[in-house]
Amino acid sequence: MDAEDGFYERLGAGRFLATEATRGPWDPGAQHAGPPAALLGRAVEERPGGRADMRLARITYEILRPVPIGPLEITTSVLRSGRNTEVVEAALTAGGGSGPVMLARALRIRVAADPVPAVAPPVLVAPPGEAAPAPFFPVPWERGYHSSVEARFTEGAFTEPGPGTCWMRMRVPLVAGEKVRPLDRVLVAADSANGISAVMDFGRFVFVNGDLTVHLHRHPAGEWVCVESRTSVDAAGIGLVDARLHDEKGPIGRVGQSLFVAPR
């Protein structure tokens, strides 16, 4: 399979090449944070010696610098390992650089050997079949994240300021030639919460997230992930994105992002 058929091409152990499918909307040489977030999440799950009886419950990303489109390398380390929980850190380095451009720290929790009572809210959002495909805001290049992910809004739009509820589905796999995993789908979509509930005009204001935290209480199922997002901004230029995550069976978790907001 050609590298263009995925967000990344695998070059070897922990080494990847980003394709144009990862390109974000602001800089032709930089990636949208969704694909590298998913790549780090997969590295946490794939790490050598990883326990099959644990599942990702929370992952927090520090976006240190824009992630360039090009060769990438991922390293992982275990910060804490216990009977019921473990904390794993993953670092993404670009082009043999001197330091990471993105860090992830994940909490994994042991899956109960015997079922416990499930307590969860019912389905809260309209299904993707009831929403029409929606365009991203204008992007000056043809290929990128905006063309690699399908978006359908049941509330709001990328081009309308205010809260938004958006179903998203990957059009290409995370890694060319490899099966898409449920966690891939969630993490590729989660960083779009900021854009889904943008409360200010893209042309007049910058509102960039320097972090991303995803909590999951249930393992996602199906091709579609819904991000139900709200944004709050203080006059000091600090904002917060708070979003609920859903699949077609119901809620699966939450997303949080801290924003830097300023006039352009």
pLDDT score, position 228:
97
State the average pLDDT over residues 220-246: 96
Q: What is the chain's mean pLDDT, rounded?
A: 93
Looking at the DSSP assignment, which residues form a beta bridge with residue 240?
232, 258
At residue 11 the predicted structure's pLDDT band, cuts being 50, 70 and 90, is very high
Distant-in-sequence contacts of 244-247, Cβ < 8 A, 24+ apart: 244/124, 245/186, 245/190, 245/214, 245/216, 245/220, 246/123, 246/124, 246/125, 247/220, 247/221, 247/222
Residue 223 CA to residue 255 CA, distance in Å, equals 19
Residue 65 CA to residue 24 CA, distance in Å, equals 14
Phi then psi for residue 35, to 5 deg, are -60, -45
Q: Which amino acid is at 33?
A: A
Number of H helices, E strands in the chain: 4, 13
Higher-pLDDT residue of 3 and 66 is 66
CA distances from 83 to 58, 219, 252 (A): 17, 20, 24
The mean-pLDDT minimum among 135-139, 162-166, 180-184, 228-232 falls in 135-139
Its pTM surpasses 0.75: yes
Higher-pLDDT residue of 49 and 53 is 53
**Nearest Cα residue to 187 out of 55, 61, 18, 46:** 61
- Cβ(223)–Cβ(259) under 8 Å? no
User: What's the pLDDT tens digit per position in 24-37?
Assistant: 988 999 999 999 99
State the average pLDDT over residues 107-131: 88
Higher-pLDDT residue of 117 and 28 is 28
CA 42, chain centre distance (Å): 11
Residue 160 CA to residue 223 CA, distance in Å, equals 25
**Residues 6 or more apart in contact with residue 131 via CB below 8 angstroms:** 152, 153, 154, 167
- Cβ(263)–Cβ(207) under 8 Å? no
Higher-pLDDT residue of 136 and 177 is 177
pLDDT score, position 1:
34
